[in-house]
Amino acid sequence: MKEITGFSKFNKQQKIDWLTQTFFNDSEKAQKILKQYWNEDQKLQKLHDEFTENTLSNFYLPFGIAPNFLINGNFHTLPMTIEESSVIAAASNAAKFWSKRGGFSAKVKNTTKIGHVHFFFYGNPEALATFFEETKPAIIETLKPITENMEKRGGGLLSLALIDKTNALENYYQIEAKFETLDAMGANFINTCLEEIAAKLYQEAKNSFGYTDEQPLLKISMSILSNYVPECIAYAEVNYPADQLLDDKESSLKFAQDFVKAVQIAKVEPYRAVTHNKGIMNGIDAVVLATGNDFRAVEAGVHAYASRNGSYSSLTQARIENNQFIFSIEIPLALGTVGGLTSLHPLVKLALEMLGNPTAKQLMQIVAVAGLAQNFAAVKSLITTGIQEGHMKMHLMNILNQFEATESEKNTIVKLFESRPVSHSSVVEALENLRNEQKVL
């Protein structure tokens, strides 16, 4: 294959022609697959096309719901966009379990977001510190046109600080800026502010220290928000008598004790913690994606937070205290309910309306609960029946669809595996036997 030039100037059909003729033996079949996922509503398809670059088709994920989430005394039905078969079922089961035991309580501890101007300074550190304190009011003033509207709503720039990082990297400093962005995730707002701060910092330093652009004493490296938000925290928990969790006192206490031990393992063993937290993110990512938020940013920040004490560890905590079983999660979440896809994608708007058009703080609480519920369901399975029984039952339909089973075949196989363990090989064998029997008949 040769390098393609001028690709960005191709129209949509030309891009499809190039792709399918270059990479596929059956160009016509490949084009058909791409086009079968186009939306018949041309206006809606144009909207999807403009979400990103070089759009050729739409990649659909299932949009499902998990009902019966009792959060702070109110029932919610959570929108979840995910392809993994057992996630929504597990979340729904956990929601139903806790709805009969007082539900989930949730709160937001803080909503501060952070960004940095990263720069190198080759002069006297004390002179830089003095310069920054003298220049800070002018920097804040230059941001007024950008922050004015946010400030009217109660947000804006919270603080500016000079951070000396020369112990980590020679001549390296930061301007750390903290923000409140209210119901917006705020990435564009924060980055715009940071670039303005950098420009003002450079100009004022040039005037103050008398250097030239050719030989700068202060050199800006980059200006960017951080997706690590350890001061933007949501907390959720469930709390119930340990001896009343299940049908009888003895089994309830054993379940609670086994559950706590399982979470403790994830607190101290990174190999387990990664999988433990992945299960939490099954629930979190599904709601984050359904509500038009950036799940990649959330993932990055969450996993950094899980490592904040020097070793990767569980995001959830469990304990028994005075016979109370307490299971909780504390998690960094930078979410928005205005801006971005929230006002553009029809399903995102539907998802937010389904949740009662929450504020960013309310959505943070809901998402934290989704993660806690998902983790409860996973750990509960692990310490009782094992994870595979429920997971493979849900995966059964994927296997049957892979082998293009008919509705009649699906009904027969599903009934057959009601009382036996599911594995890929056993399902394939059962399907082949069924088809051989039908041939004989």
Residue 402's contacts (CB-CB under 8 Å, 6 or more residues apart) are none
Question: What is the spatial distance between Cα 252 and Cα 265, in angstroms, rounded to a whole number?
Answer: 20
Residue 285 among the catalytic residues: no
Q: Which residues pair with 145 in a beta bridge?
A: none
Which of the following is catalytic: 294, 345, 380, 395? 294
Which of the following is catalytic: 84, 151, 176, 231? 84
Question: What is the spatial distance between Cα 418 and Cα 424, in angstroms, rounded to a whole number?
Answer: 15
Question: What is the spatial distance between Cα 37 and Cα 46, in angstroms, rounded to a whole number?
Answer: 13
Count of positions (residues) in the chain: 441
Q: Residue 69, exposed/middle/buried by CB under 10 A (0-12, 13-18, 19+)?
A: buried
| Count of H-run helices and E-run strands, the chain | 15, 10
Residue 176 among the catalytic residues: no
Which of the following is catalytic: 267, 278, 349, 393? 278
Which of the following is catalytic: 136, 380, 391, 395? 391
Residue 391 among the catalytic residues: yes
Q: From the centroid of its chain, how far is CA 103?
A: 23
Element (H, E) at 327: strand 324-332
SS3 of 246-301: CCCHHHHHHHHHHHHHHHHHHHHCHHHHHHHHHHHHHHHHHHHHHCCCCHHHHHHH
Q: Which residues pair with 222 in a beta bridge?
A: 118
Catalytic residues: 84, 278, 294, 391
